[in-house]
Amino acid sequence: MNILVMAAVALERDAVLRGLHASKDFNVAIAGVGAAAAAAQTATLLAAATYDLVISAGIAGGFVGRAEVGSIVIADAAIAADLGAQTPDGFRSLDQLGFGSSQVPVDVGLAKRLAEALRAAGGPVYTGTILTVSTVTGTAETAAELVARVPGATAEAMEGYGVGMAAYQSGIPFLEIRAISNAVGPRDRSAWRIEEALHALEAASKTLREVLQ
Ligand SMILES: O=C(O)c1cccc(C(=O)CC[C@H]2O[C@@H](n3cnc4c(=O)[nH]cnc43)[C@H](O)[C@@H]2O)c1
């Protein structure tokens, strides 16, 4: 198998690489922060080589009561939660506006298999919707608004939809894997546990390699 893993920043890429133990089946690349950079970089790499699977991997915020710091979330759906329009009657997604889809398909069977393997390896693992946002949520009001908009919301990050859209447009299966570094809600950057999340991401990458090889 030839698998492309896209991480937003070097710290995430390095955690994934440590977990994969230099497996030749994987190319781990830096996507940049945000869906636009991630989509462009993923599309460039997909045009340059043949891949069987594309994965968006990194750290993320976890919705309170759904995914705690240090846990792993595997996407069963990947949704651009703020892509649409505000109207007097509330938010309208791209789908509701008739301009495409705010959701990219995930390989649900593979996501389930990976989640089972991660559970067997120990550590908290959840499957649920991972939101892609352009702005890191910083208030309880916005967190509540996102959960109301997407009831299955489990984690939020900034690249999944972009990576997934590039994969979808190339007809390649897609997965999103996130390790939780912080709670989604009132901004408290000092409470982010990035090291803890990177360790969880490394351990999850080890299991990922075992599942896919
Ligand atoms: O300090 C900040 O507010 C900040 C703003 C933008 C990016 C970062 C990063 O640490 C970049 C890495 C990566 O982390 C993901 N991430 C982690 N937690 C969250 C979150 O609560 N909401 C959205 N994204 C999150 C994201 O995918 C970044 O690319 C820090």
* Mean per-residue pLDDT over the chain, rounded: 97
Q: Which atom of ligand 1 is nearest to the CA of 187?
A: 3
Residue bearing the CA closest to ligand 1, atom 16:
60
Number of domains in the chain: 1
Residue bearing the CA closest to ligand 1, atom 1:
189
> What is the CB < 6 Å shell around ligand 1?
8-9, 33, 58-61, 133, 136-137, 156-159, 181-182, 184, 189
List the structure tokens of 202.
């490394």
- pLDDT-derived band at 22 (thresholds 50, 70, 90) equals confident
The pLDDT value recorded for residue 31 is 98
Q: Give residue 155's domain range.
A: 3-212
pTM of the model: 0.97
Give the domain CATH number at 124.
3.40.50.1580
Q: What percent of the chain has pLDDT over 70?
A: 100
pLDDT in tens, 95-113: 999 999 999 999 999 999 9
- pLDDT-derived band at 68 (thresholds 50, 70, 90) equals very high
Residue 77 has pLDDT above 90, yes or no: yes
Residue 204 vs residues 31, 66, 148: alpha-carbon distances, Å: 19, 18, 29
